[in-house]
Amino acid sequence: MLDAERLEILTESAKYDVSCSSSGSKRVNRGGGIGNASVGGICHSFTPDGRCISLLKILMSNDCIYDCEYCPNRASADVKRASMTPEEICELTINFYKRNYIEGLFLSSAVCESPNKTMELLVRTITLLRKQYNFNGYIHLKGIPHADELLCMRAAHLADRMSYNIELPSEKSLKLLAPQKTRDSIMLPMKKLQAATIYDKENKIKKCARVIPAGQTTQMIIGASPESDGRILKLTQALYRNMGLKRVYYSSYIPVVKSSKLPQTGAGLLREHRLYQADWLLRFYGFDVEELCGEDDNLAAEFDPKCAWALKNLQLFPVEINTAPLETLLRVPGIGARGAYRIIEARRFCRLNFDNLKKMRIILKRAKHFITCNGKFYGADGEKMIKASLMLSDDMHRCEQLSIFSKPSETFAALTGEL
C-alpha cells in the first residue's frame, strides 16, 4: 500500500475523535530542539462544525481487535486496514512540523494485537519524538483501556495531554455497545493520572518535569445510547469536580455503521451544541445540572440553556445592573463572564446606563428583558413577549454571516459558546 494511501486511511479514521483541542501546556523549547508548546499556546483552527484541525491527528493503526458497535474501525467491519511504525509517525510529524502544516500531534490508535502492545508502540513513538528528535511541540496521546498502568505513567511523563475516552455515558450502554471495554479500564487510569498531577503540584515538582501539564480530557458519544442530557451532564459535572478534567468533549453520533443496537438517525449538531453551552455554564457560570434540564431531563432545543433557565425563573428578574452581585450578573442571558466582570469593575467608578453596557459589548437584545439600569426597564412584558422577542433576535442573528469584521464579542461567543 502506498504511503499516501495509508496516511489517508489513518487520518480519516481519526476524525471521529474530537477530544483534541489543545491548550494549557507549559512545555518550552529546550536549547536547539524543535517546536514549542508554550509560546502563544498551540494555534487552533476549527472546521465549520467546531472540530480542531491544527494538530496532525492520526491513528497509529486502524486494525482493531475490539468490536465497538458504533466504530467504523471495529474488528468485524469490512474496511481497508493500515498501520504505521513509530519511526514513520515521527518522520511524518517532524516533516509536517518543519513545513508549518501542524503545531503538534494528536496520536491515537485502534487496539491491535493487545492493549499493552498498542500502548507500548504509542509510548515508543512519543519517546522517540521527545528524546531522539528533540521535539518540544504539543503532544496529545490517547490512552488505551486495559493497558498496563506503568505504560500509562510513562506516557504521562512525555505527553502534554492525555485522554481516555469514556465513550458512552453509562456502564450499561458501554456493555452493550463496546463490550470489550469496561468502566474500570477507562476510569482507573484517569484516576491514576489525576493522582500523579496532584502529587506533582503539591510537591512543587518543576513544571518541565510534571506529568501531562495540559491535563486530561475525555469524549462522549451523544445519541448512540438513550441517556438524557441530564445524565450526560451529571457525569460531566462529576468529571470536572472530582477528577479535575480540563474538558469533556461531545461527539454527536453519526450513523456510519449499520447495527440493530444503534439508532438509525444521528443525534444532530444542535444537541451537541446545547451540551457544549451547558458545559460552559457548569464550568464558568456557577450553574448545577439540576437547574439546566427540563422536566424530561433534557436541555431545551429552542433556547440556549441560560435563556431557558432564565425563562423558567422569571420571578428572579429583572435585576438592577448597578447593585446585583457577580453571581447574579453571571446568570443574566446576554451577559458573558467577561461582561459580568467588566460591569463589577466599571460600577466602582460610576452608575451604569444602557449606553455604558453597549460599550461593554453586553448583548442587550437578550439582556434587556432581564435587567434594569438605574431602575429603567426596556425589555418585553411577560413570558410570551420575551420568548417571541428572543426568538426573533435569534433568527436575525442566524441570518447574519459571521465575518472577521463581526463584533469581537459575537465572534468570540460563536467560537467558544460563551453565553
Q: Which residues bind ligand SF4 (CB under 6 A)?
A: 64, 66, 68, 71, 73-74, 110-111, 178
**Of 66 and 309, which has the nearer Cβ to ligand SF4?**
66
Minimum distance, C-beta of residue 4 to ligand SF4, in the bound complex (Å): 22
Residue with cell 502506498: 2
302-306 CB contacts, 8 Å cutoff, 24+ apart: 302/391, 303/387, 303/390, 303/394, 304/274, 304/277, 304/333, 304/419, 305/274, 305/277, 305/278, 305/281, 305/419, 306/277, 306/281, 306/331, 306/333, 306/419
Cell digits of residue 387: 420568548
**Of 80 and 351, which has the nearer Cβ to ligand SF4?**
80
Cell digits of residue 153: 505513567
Burial (CB count within 10 angstroms: exposed 0-12, middle 13-18, buried 19+), residue 342: buried
Minimum distance, C-beta of residue 162 to ligand SF4, in the bound complex (Å): 16
d(CA 82, CA 9): 7
**Of 110 and 299, which has the nearer Cβ to ligand SF4?**
110
**Of 41 and 72, which has the nearer Cβ to ligand SF4?**
72
Cell digits of residue 156: 504521562
3-state secondary structure of 249: strand
Minimum distance, C-beta of residue 69 to ligand SF4, in the bound complex (Å): 9
**Of 71 and 282, which has the nearer Cβ to ligand SF4?**
71
Nearest Cα to 70, choosing from 263, 271, 273?
A: 263
**Of 250 and 354, which has the nearer Cβ to ligand SF4?**
250
* Residues 25 and 38: beta-carbon distance below 8 Å: yes
**Of 251 and 322, which has the nearer Cβ to ligand SF4?**
251
**Of 54 and 62, which has the nearer Cβ to ligand SF4?**
62
Minimum distance, C-beta of residue 72 to ligand SF4, in the bound complex (Å): 8
Q: What is the DSSP string of 126-177?
A: HHIIIIIS-B-SEEEEEPPTT--HHHHHHHHTT-SEEE---BSSSHHHHHHH
**Of 179 and 382, which has the nearer Cβ to ligand SF4?**
179
Minimum distance, C-beta of residue 175 to ligand SF4, in the bound complex (Å): 14
**Of 12 and 410, which has the nearer Cβ to ligand SF4?**
12
Dihedral (CA of 323, 354, 401, 267) sign: positive
Minimum distance, C-beta of residue 292 to ligand SF4, in the bound complex (Å): 29
Cell digits of residue 394: 435569534
**Of 60 and 239, which has the nearer Cβ to ligand SF4?**
60
Minimum distance, C-beta of residue 327 to ligand SF4, in the bound complex (Å): 40
Minimum distance, C-beta of residue 66 to ligand SF4, in the bound complex (Å): 4
Minimum distance, C-beta of residue 178 to ligand SF4, in the bound complex (Å): 6
What is the identity of the amino acid at 418? E
d(CA 94, CA 97): 5
Minimum distance, C-beta of residue 68 to ligand SF4, in the bound complex (Å): 3
Minimum distance, C-beta of residue 291 to ligand SF4, in the bound complex (Å): 33
DSSP class of 44:
P
Helices 183-202 and 229-243: crossing angle in degrees, nearest 10, is 30
Cell digits of residue 130: 521527545
| DSSP helix, strand, coil percent of the chain (3-state; round to 5) | 40, 10, 45
Residue 62: C-alpha distances to residues 73, 123, 345, 404 (Å): 6, 17, 53, 38
